[in-house]
């Protein structure tokens, strides 16, 4: 773990650096408070800092205060090294944002133990951040297909429509539905249905540009967001997906299942930013594709749809 040592005394910097390196820490050095603040504000900054109280440009407590006011995560554990040992002075340092202190001249064993305590706190905070990020990811993911779930892909569409409006460009929207999915479930069971959903998701995702987005929108429905696509380009992408799906069978429990899907395609030119409206337009186009016999594509603009009067 990296530790920042900030002290204007070359003797203390050398003594501290040798001790910390002996204990297995990676040591970074600052000669004054301003240098310490700059190093702590950088990406990948040390998680532990040992700051002298009295330094040029910024004192140790001033650095503490700046860190606590500005930096949130990951947490920086700060230990003040001070010749001040009255109660009021120690309280002042802790109120400034220091986590602990060691009085000069310091005892090496005491410093080592206090740094270990700081490392435990930093490690626990990193564990909490990882757990939080994992929970956020799980909250935004459909665990069967490992695609973004309905709220996540709807949010992605909303953000893309806002960019589309701001930058005056188009965005394609595709809503697709696996044909006769209920029959697959009824005939082969839900295990087979789950396998079809997973394989469909993989084939669709593998047939898209890196910056396109797809999510599971409903039971057997998927929503696709295509930045910088007009209606013709979005329809071509839908055709590639349709062809990829129906082109080969899916093997489930020894049975070869041929799967197809119906596609509804629309596009936004940036004039309307409501994601709900465009999903409804795509759904209207999808309904037409099903009425045309399934395993096909239907395109529809907002102006051509029943949503035109609402927008």
Q: Are 132 and 158 within one domain?
A: no
For residue 222, the model assigns a pLDDT of 98
The proportion of the chain whose per-residue pLDDT surpasses 90, expressed as a percent, equals: 78
Which tokens in the block code for residue 191? Answer: 């295990």
Model pLDDT, residue 72: 76
Q: Give domain status of residue 304, yes or no.
A: no
Asked if residue 308 is part of any domain, the answer here is no
Cβ neighbours, 10 Å, residue 112? 14
Between CA 34 and CA 4 the distance in angstroms is: 13
Is 311 inside any structural domain? no
CA 35 from centre of chain: 32
Which pLDDT score is estimated for 305? 78
Least confident of 90-94, 202-206, 297-301: 90-94
User: Of 118, 106, 112, whose CA–CA distance to 78 is shortest?
Assistant: 118
Q: Taking 60 as the threshold, does the pLDDT of residue 281 lie above it?
A: yes
Give the DSSP H/E element, type plus range, for residue 166.
helix 150-167
Residue span of the structural domain in which 130 resides: 2-137
Average pLDDT over residues 136-149: 93
Beta bridge partners of 51: 6, 80
CATH number at residue 164: 3.30.70.270
Q: Say what the pLDDT of residue 308 is.
A: 63
Q: Does residue 142 belong to any structural domain of this protein?
A: no
Q: Provide the number of structural domains found in the chain.
A: 2
What pLDDT does 311 receive? 54
Tens digit of each residue's pLDDT (9 = 90 or more) over 195-223: 999 999 999 999 999 999 999 999 999 99
What value, to the nearest 5°, has the Cα angle with vertex 49 and ends 47 and 52? 170
Query: Residues 62, 199, 220, 284: which is the catalytic one?
Result: 220
**In which region does residue 275 sit, left (phi positive, over 0), alpha (psi from -120 to 50) or beta (all else)?**
alpha
| Span 95-115, pLDDT tens digits | 999 999 999 888 999 999 999
Q: Looking at the structure, do residues 131 and 10 belong to the same domain, yes or no? A: yes
Residue 255: pLDDT band with limits 50, 70, 90? confident
pLDDT at res. 13: 93
pLDDT, tens digit, 9 for 90 and up, residues 284-293: 999 999 999 9
pLDDT above 70 (res 84): yes
CATH code for the domain of 73: 3.40.50.2300
Q: Is the pLDDT of residue 21 over 90?
A: yes
Residue 90 has pLDDT above 90, yes or no: no
Residue 126 and residue 158 in one domain: no
- What local confidence, expressed as pLDDT, does residue 165 receive? 86
Structural domain ending residue among the three candidates 103, 137, 171: 137
Are residue 80 and residue 170 in the same domain, yes or no? no
For the cut 90, the answer to whether the pLDDT of residue 309 exceeds it is no
Mean pLDDT of all residues in 124-135: 92
Question: What's the rounded mean pLDDT across residues 263-270?
Answer: 93
In a domain, 307, yes or no: no
The answer on 160 and 107 residing in a single domain is no
State the Cα–Cα distance between residues 302 and 309, nearest whole angstrom.
9
Instruction: Based on the fold, state whether residues 255 and 277 are members of the same structural domain.
Output: yes
Judge if 80 and 181 occupy the same domain. Answer: no
Q: For 221, what's the count of Cα atoms within 13 Å in the CB-facing half-sphere?
A: 15
Do both 105 and 30 map to the same domain?
yes
Task: Give the integer Cα–Cα distance in Å for 200 and 190.
Answer: 15
Q: Which of 108-112, 142-146, 156-160, 272-276 has the lowest mean pLDDT?
A: 272-276
Q: Is the same domain home to 176 and 207? A: yes
38 is catalytic: no
Residue 145 lies in a domain: no
* 126 and 14 within one domain: yes
Show which of 79, 102, 137 is a domain's final residue.
137
Interhelix angle 181-188/190-205, rounded to 10 degrees, is 140
Residue 154 lies in a domain: yes
Q: Are 261 and 122 members of one domain?
A: no
Last residue of a domain, one of 111, 137, 163: 137
- Is the model's pTM score more than 0.75? no
Task: Verify that 78 and 155 share a domain, yes or no.
Answer: no
Residue 309: inside a domain: no
């Amino acid at each position: 773990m990296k530790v920042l040592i900030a002290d204007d005394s070359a003797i203390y910097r050398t003594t501290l650096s040798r001790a910390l390196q002996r204990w297995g820490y990676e040591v970074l050095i600052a000669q004054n408070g301003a240098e310490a603040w700059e190093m702590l504000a950088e990406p990948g900054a040390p998680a532990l800092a040992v700051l002298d109280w009295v330094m040029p440009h910024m004192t140790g407590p001033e650095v503490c205060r700046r860190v606590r006011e500005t930096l949130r995560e990951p947490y920086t554990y700060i230990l003040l090294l001070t010749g001040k040992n009255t109660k009021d002075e120690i309280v002042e340092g802790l109120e400034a944002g220091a986590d602990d202190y060691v009085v000069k001249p310091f005892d090496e064993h005491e410093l080592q133990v206090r740094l270990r305590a700081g490392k435990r706190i930093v490690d626990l905070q990193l564990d909490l951040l990882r757990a939080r990020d994992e929970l956020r990811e799980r909250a935004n993911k459909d665990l069967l297909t490992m695609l973004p779930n309905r709220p996540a892909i709807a949010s992605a569409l909303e953000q893309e429509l806002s960019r589309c409006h701001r930058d005056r460009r188009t965005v394609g929207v595709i809503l697709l539905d696996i044909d006769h999915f209920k029959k697959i479930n009824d005939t082969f069971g839900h295990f087979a249905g789950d396998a079809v959903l997973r394989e469909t998701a993989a084939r669709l995702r593998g047939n898209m540009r890196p910056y396109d987005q797809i999510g599971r929108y409903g039971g057997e429905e998927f929503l696709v967001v295509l930045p910088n696509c007009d209606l013709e380009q979005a329809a071509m992408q839908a055709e590639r997906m349709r062809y990829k799906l129906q082109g080969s069978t899916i093997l489930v429990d020894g049975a070869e299942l041929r799967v197809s899907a119906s596609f509804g395609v629309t596009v936004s030119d940036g004039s309307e930013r409501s994601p709900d409206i465009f999903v409804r337009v795509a759904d209207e186009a999808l309904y037409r594709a099903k009425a045309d016999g399934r395993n096909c594509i239907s395109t529809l603009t907002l102006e051509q749809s029943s949503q035109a009067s609402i927008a």
